[in-house]
Structure 1
Amino acid sequence: MRYSLSALALATLASASPVSIEERQGNSGTGPFAPAGYYTSDALEGHTFYAPQNIPSDAKLPVMLWGNGGCSADATGQAPFLTELASHGVLVIASGTPGNGGGTTAEIMTQSIDFITSNAGQGDWANIDASRITAAGWSCGGIEAYAQIWDDRVQSIGIWSSGLLDNYTAANDFTKPVFFFLGGPSDIAYQNGERDYAAMPAGVPKWKGNLDVGHGGTYTDTNGGKFGVIGGYWVEWILRGDSSAADYLTGDGAKNDGWTVEYADLENLSVSPIE
């Protein structure tokens, strides 16, 4: 069943123009909140929202910020992957807009935090829980996500085929959980991500997975391919607080799908079910 725009629990603010949402055939997500899609809103210009198209009135959605590969301002460059994650019950705010040819910055991602923390839990954003925010991104977008680790409003970081470029020691001071999803030795960001993982201080939860697909990942495969699969479990565990989803990342699930996994201090990770 396809839902009309009026069925969106996440509509634009009353003063904004009508949202536009696109459901790509075969890429509307496989999670429990599917189908999902993306839309833009005058309420936050220069950004794109990915969300389930039908949200139960009593459901809460956590928030994931996304920086695109190449720091591209085309927020649909990884649309199949981001739609898949949204279908697992998260509001994704991607920097940029559909088809935009410009670039983005870490400050644009911070604008997402400012907006959603100011509006979550009220009006058209009543379903959003902004006490659960993770910043994530691919390649250059991962650097934008790293910049948010110092923001008290962000609880965790997701690094997708990325790593610090010039400040090689910054990871020594990380105090928040970081999840690294890398493309194996042929990924140009592989050494950077491996270095950052190793540099994080003892006691801080961290997880690292490598899938031998190179830097391009599987973002544009149907529903984001294997990156979409593991990303869905990551969303359900870290953002929605479903401890059973952790089994895929730490048990045989990811390994059986070809991921090489390493992690440490996850016992210090405290995540409760979203309410």
Structure 2
Amino acid sequence: MKTSLSALALVALASASPVVVEKRQGSSGNGPFAPAGYYTPNALGGHTFYAPKTVPAGTKLPVMLWGNGGCSADATGQAPFLTQLASYGVLVIASGTPRGGGSTTADVMKQSIDFISQNAGKGDFASVDASRITAAGWSCGGIEAYAQIWDARVQSIGIWSSGLLTNYTAAGSFRKPVFFFLGGSGDIAYQNGERDYAAMPAGVPKYKGNLPVGHGGTYTDANGGKFGVIGAQWVQWVMRGNASAAAYLTGSGAKNDGWSVVSADLDKLGVTPIA
């Protein structure tokens, strides 16, 4: 039996306006929680939520914060990718609004943490587990995600074609797991991400995958393309605690899809299945 994620989410996703699942997505995700879509909650302006339209009764959703490429306030710029991740059982809170203009900041992402920490497990967000929050982002959005690593409410970081811009040594102070997904040597952020990965201290879990597609990734391909494939396994493993999903990232799956992979200290990740 399935129940709605929340009354607010279901009403928003079903409405004709202003929430419309982007036609360019080609689908609404192909994960076990599909179909997924996005909506803009009245309770948190300036943000867009991607979620399964329904979730099994008793199932909890971890949270992934997302900073858009270019720190854009258009929260649908990577809609196929984010919808795909949501269809694998994650609530994604993207900074900005559908087709929004202007820019976002790290403080906008922090607003997401504040809001979901206060509202998870209650009312419209009864299915959300805010004890599992990952901050992630592409390019400039990755810098916004990095800024959340010092927040005790955030458990891990996802860096997508990004890296520190000026503070070249800050990664040496990281004490939380960081997963890097880069676009190969043709990615403008390649050297930054490579440097940050190398600078992280021994004993802290880290992972780095490179796919030679350049800085633009595959976010707008159907279901997010190959980035959507590895991203779906990443959220299943790191956020939902599905150990079998780790095999794709660390075994032959990612390599067969063209990813070059290195990692360290993943045995210290300590993920457990979500309730």
Normalising by the smaller structure, the TM-score range is over 0.9
What displacement does 1:148 show?
Answer: 0.1
- For the Cα contact (< 8 Å) 2:81–2:225, is it kept in 1? yes
Partners of 1:254 and 1:226 lie apart in 2 by 9
Per-residue CA deviations over 1:82-115 (Å, capped at 9, x if unaligned) read 0000000000000000011110000000000000
Give the deviation of 1:124 after TM superposition: 1.1
Query: Which amino acid in structure 2 is aligned with residue 188 of structure 1?
Result: I
Correspondent of 2:20 among 19, 22, 31: 22
Kindly indicate whether the alpha-carbon contact (under 8 Å) linking 1:12 and 1:43 is maintained by their aligned counterparts in 2. no
Deviations 1:176-212, CA, capped at 9 Å, x for gaps: 0000000000000000000000000000000000000
Aligned to 2:177: 177
In structure 2, how many angstroms separate the alpha carbons of the residues matched to 1:251 and 1:260?
11
Change (3 A) 1:71 1:231: same
Shift of the alpha carbon at 1:68? 0.1
Give the 5 Å matches for 1:235-250. Answer: 235-250=235-250
Structure 2 match to 1:126: 126
Give me the identity figure in percent.
Answer: 75
| 1-structure distance, mates of 2:19, 2:132 | 24
Question: How far off its partner does 1:9 sit?
Answer: 1.8
Distance in 1 between residues matched to 2:240 and 2:193, nearest whole Å: 25
Query: Equivalent residue of 1:194, what SS?
Result: helix
Partners of 1:22 and 1:138 lie apart in 2 by: 23
What is the distance in 2 between the residues matched to 1:232 and 1:11? Answer: 26
**Equivalent in the alignment of 2:39:** 39
Partner of 1:12: 8
Report the AA paired with residue 166 of structure 2: D
SS at match of 2:271: coil
Q: Report how far residue 10 of structure 1 moved.
A: 2.8
Matched letter for residue 232 of structure 1: A
Q: Match for residue 48 of structure 1?
A: 48
What amino acid does structure 1 have at the position aligned with 2:103? G
Alignment of 1:89-128 (within 5 A): 89-128=89-128
- Indicate the SS of the match to 1:63: strand
In 1, the alpha carbon distance for the partners of 2:59 and 2:268 equals: 27
5+ residue gaps in structure 1?
none
Q: Distance in 1 between matches of 2:21 and 2:35?
A: 8
How far, CA to CA, are the matches of 2:7 and 2:225 in structure 1?
28
CA RMSD in angstroms, aligned pairs only: 1.6
**Aligned partners of 1:229, 1:121: CA distance in 2, in Å?**
29
Q: How much has 1:57 moved relative to structure 2?
A: 2.1
User: Following the alignment from structure 2 to structure 1, what is the Cα–Cα distance between the partners of residues 173 and 63?
Assistant: 24
Alignment of 1:248-263 (within 5 A): 248-263=248-263
- Aligned-pair CA distance for 1:24: 3.9
- For 1:177-256, what aligned pairs fall within 5 Å after superposition? 177-256=177-256
Structure 2 residues without counterparts, runs of 5 or longer: none
TM-superposed CA distance for 1:228, in Å, is 0.2
SS of residue in 1 equivalent to 2:29: coil
Inter-partner Cα distance in structure 1 for 2:104 and 2:7: 25
Q: Distance in 2 between matches of 1:24 and 1:165?
A: 32
CA contact (8 A) 2:60 2:129 kept: yes
Q: Give the aligned length.
A: 267
Is 2:184–2:213's contact at 8 Å kept on the other side of the alignment?
Answer: yes
1:169 and 1:206 map into 2 onto residues whose CA distance is 16
Aligned to 2:162: 162
Following superposition of structure 1 onto structure 2, how do residues 137-156 of structure 1 map, counting pairs within 5 Å? Answer: 137-156=137-156
Listed one character per residue, the Cα deviations across residues 136-162 of structure 1 (whole Å, up to 9, x for unaligned) are 000000000000000000000000000
**Normalising by the residue count of structure 1, what TM-score does the alignment of the two structures yield?**
0.94
Note if contact 1:188-1:214 (Cα within 8 Å) is conserved in structure 2. Answer: yes
1:67 corresponds in structure 2 to: 67
How far apart are the structure 2 equivalents of 1:10 and 1:158?
27
Correspondence 1:79 to 2:48: no
Contact 2:62–2:89 (CA under 8 A) maintained in structure 1: yes
TM-score norm. by structure 2 comes to 0.94
